A and B are shown apart, each in its own frame.
Chain A
Amino acid sequence: MGETPDKEYLELFLEEARDYIDSLNELLPKLEKNMENLEVINEIFRLMHSLKGNAGMLGLENISKLAHKAEDLLAMVRDGRLKLTKEHVKLLFRVLDKLNEMLSLVEQKATDKEADISEILKELEKALATEEKSEAPVSTEKAKEALEFLRKLALSEEKPKEVFEALKNVSKSFDKVSEHEVSKESKNVEDEDVDKELFKLSDVEREKALDALARGLQFYKITLKFKETPMFVLRYFVALQKIGELGEIIKTIPSGSEVSQTKTYRVAILAAVRKLNELDEVAKEIPDLESYDARKVDIEALGIREDEVSMKAESTTDKLAEIENLLKKVEEKEAETRSLLAEEQQQSQKLGEVRVNVKSLDTLFNLVGELVLVKSRLAAIISKYDIPNIKETLATFERLVSELQDEVMRMRLVPLQYVFRNIPRYVSELSEKYGKEVDVYFEGSEISLDRKVLEDLAEPLFKLIEILIRDDIEKAEERSRKGKPGVGTIRLVATREGNHVILTVESDGRGIDAEEVKKRAVELGLVPAATVEKMGKEEALMLTTLPGFSLRNGAWSGLDSIKKAVEALGGTLEIYSKVDVETKFLFKIPVSMATLRALLVKLGTTPYAIPVTSVITTIKLTDRGSVGQADVVKYQDKILPIYDLAYLLGIDGASDKKYAVIVEKRGKLVALAVDEILGQEDIVVKPLSRILARAKGLAGATILGDGRVCLILDPLSLIP
């Protein structure tokens, strides 16, 4: 980190920081008057955040640290985890004074090292400690704020409360029935002890319970007594799995890790399911069961208050969690990038430009790509529910995500120069190889394209240049016979046209004779003669891009792979030519594209892509067994259910799949069996047509290297 940053940057920083301090000086008194003014809180938060970032970049650690802590405090207030008091405002005033003091210090000595902030930090810590959860560093805050808002809405009480009321009424009449049943049963003391333990929920369990409640599930205490067989442990897991499929298992006694030590063959389960009779049905399927009993449990017994409960749509919550997860990763990457920036700051030429590790940029890019996918799935789900205000918020969220995507895409743009600069040397090598003389000219090398697009464009471009030197440009003596200058010319011109770059590659050689191409294509059996007759010149020239095409002398072979590569980039290729005057190839290439890191797997002979962010790991299905009806596999110390991915997709396939992809759905690991694992790849995400919007479990599609379409799966939505 920079010990003494350049004066120039410091001045910039100080100027900006003074502005911030001025604004804070105005805002804090406002806050003092109305401590619930969220607008003011947000504005102060934003200023502290900016100050923190700027100071951090210049290595002004004390300022950065202090602003950071203040930001944390405000974040807690904003999120409703801390109630703002007069003391807090006073503390913020003191933070302001301290910041001011440090700015003066920086002005004189270009560092804030000598400042003592230990005391004020301690006080901030104390204020922060009133809440146990610590705030993650806030970044991409705009998106996060939108998410926060979105979540609140998803949990909003307006409509869902009515639903909840209705639910409560139903459950009351249910209670009467089950009370009747319960009274027949004599409870013993041991039972009450079990209840006490079973109903005492940990934070995680409680969260699960609230979630289940929100999904409209009912709680039951299920008591299972198994026959005394050595298979008991396996039966236990089968039972859990079967009941789990109906809803959610909140808690079990004994727990999964204790079950092998237990000697009672008795299991008490707290589960949330939709209907009692579903439970009764499932119980019949559990092998070696001696007795079974299910009793309804009131939420009060679990220590859950009604007002904690709000309805939420199950899948919306899932997606929200997923988005949150992604945002967190994006944030981490940003933080990583930022710390890299700070390190490299001194070498950087201007304050406005920084070096970024390409890898973290790629990761960021992929994460944003995935965020975009999740966004559209979320939009699809939300469209099914009529939740007030959510549409507008979703629109805001969508806008923010697409802004984020634009910004990240912009970060990845690289000028064509990076490819162009290697061409002269390549041309001179090829000129020698084919005994020609060629000059090459460039225009528009400052035009930028996405890194990956440029990378993928380089190969077909180089290949085309070779073909032009090989087949188009004549040898010097032939050229002078034709009255052309002895040295041939290749010209590469790039222009920007909306979201595309138009790149023309032009040479002044023999040209391509459309009539000759037509005849040859028919001769090679690539097209019927009747089709060729009606073709115009440009259309005929495109025949050269058919696989297997070449003129009698072998010229113009290999154009098919160029066309394919361009199309894989989402671009197009056009060919123009005037015999003995010019040959022109026109590429229209999108400036950027959304890519995603995906795991490719095979079902039968068809490859499918799974976003790597959904994948925990992949395993070989060796430790496989079947427990009752269910297929399971041992992974680490857990027993996971196996789902055949082909079956989930509703396609036929061999039943003895050798591999599995492990994914996590709502905290539970699940093995998805596949025939083959092909490996990871960066794929270009293409949307599926709207006409396929109802297809389940699909997140989009991509085009593989061989031109085939490969579907991108959303495996979590397929798991029942």
Chain B
Amino acid sequence: MVDRKIVVFKLGKQMWGIDLKYVREVVRVKQYTIVPTTTEYVLGVFNLRGQIVPLLDISKILNVERESSETAIILNYNEEAVGFSVDNVVGVINVSDNEMLPPPTEAGDYVKGVLRRDGELISILDTERVLETIEQAEITQ
């Protein structure tokens, strides 16, 4: 039984997932403008077909190391588009609710659950929590 669709992507050495209902599209961001006076979570803003979209680096929040990439997942957040910069998007998988396991405590606050596929662990992101954290992060300068 399929309960939800998850977009799976790679960030650092791990696999992560975002519920498809948040995802608008996946794009390549060739060029973005740095926004000074903001937090380390914001890489900058870019032009998505005439719309100005923030490009966010969630690796800092998830505490993983990664190299830069051009791939971004565009999500809907409060009726606005925001981009998550990720290493690459693996695909979309169908998941039934009983496959979802509660996150281990060391997974941190931003993981809603984990699931196992083809021998790999996929951490499902608590998207709203990630975005709220970024939105409310204090600027330290």
* A contact set with B: CB distance below 8 Å: 566-572, 606, 649-651, 686-698, 701, 703, 707-711
Contacts and interface: CB of A to CB of B under 8 A. Distances in A.
Contacts of A703: 47, 50, 52
B34 interface: yes
Contacts of A572: 49-50
Contacts of A696: 37, 139
Nearest to B49: A567
Q: Which of A568, A572, A694 has the most CB of B within 10 A?
A: A694
Contacts of A701: 33, 45, 52
Nearest to A607: B33
A649 B54 contact: no
Contacts, number: 90
Given A567-B50, A703-B52, A691 B134 contact: yes
A692 B35 contact: yes
B46 A709 contact: yes
Nearest to B138: A694
A688 B38 CA distance: 12
Given A650-B36, A691-B135, A695-B37, A570 B50 contact: yes
Nearest to B41: A691
Given A570-B51, A572-B50, A691-B42, 13 more contacts: A566-B50, A570-B50, A571-B50, A606-B34, A650-B36, A650-B37, A651-B36, A689-B52, A689-B80, A692-B42, A709-B44, A709-B52, A711-B33
A681 B125 CA distance: 43
B78 interface: yes
A194 B110 CA distance: 65
B35 A698 contact: yes
Q: 8 closest A-B pairs (Cβ-Cβ)?
A: A567-B50, A649-B36, A695-B38, A696-B37, A709-B33, A689-B54, A651-B36, A570-B50
26 contacts: A570-B50, A570-B51, A571-B50, A650-B36, A650-B37, A650-B141, A651-B36, A689-B52, A689-B54, A690-B80, A691-B56, A691-B80, A692-B35, A692-B45, A692-B54, A694-B39, A695-B38, A697-B37, A698-B35, A703-B50, A707-B31, A707-B47, A709-B32, A709-B46, A709-B47, A711-B35
A650 B80 CA distance: 27
B31 A708 contact: yes
Interface string B5-36: 00000000000000000000000000111111
Given A689-B52, A695-B139, A708 B47 contact: yes
Secondary structure of the B contact surface, majority rule: mixed
Nearest to B135: A691
B82 A689 contact: yes
Contacts of A711: 33, 35, 45
Given A567-B50, A703-B47, A710 B33 contact: yes
B45 A691 contact: no
Contacts of A570: 50-51
A710 B52 CA distance: 10
A569 B51 CA distance: 10
Contacts of A567: 47, 49-50
Contacts of A698: 35, 37
A255 B37 CA distance: 37
B53 interface: yes
Contact of B131 (A569, A688, A691, A709): A691
B82 A691 contact: yes
Interface in B91-141: 131, 134-135, 137-139, 141
A703 to B, nearest CB: 5
A606 B139 contact: no
A572 B51 CA distance: 11
Contact of B35 (A571, A687, A695, A708): A695
A697 B80 CA distance: 21
Q: Which of B35, B46, B54, B80 has the most CB of A within 10 A?
A: B35
Contacts of B80: 689-691
B71 to A, nearest CB: 13
Nearest to A702: B52
B45 A688 contact: yes
Nearest to B45: A709
A690 B78 contact: yes
Contacts of B139: 694-696
A710 B39 CA distance: 18
A605 to B, nearest CB: 11
A559 to B, nearest CB: 15
Q: Which of B44, B49, B80, B141 has the most CB of A within 10 A?
A: B49
A244 to B, nearest CB: 23
B118 to A, nearest CB: 20
A668 B47 CA distance: 37
A436 to B, nearest CB: 33
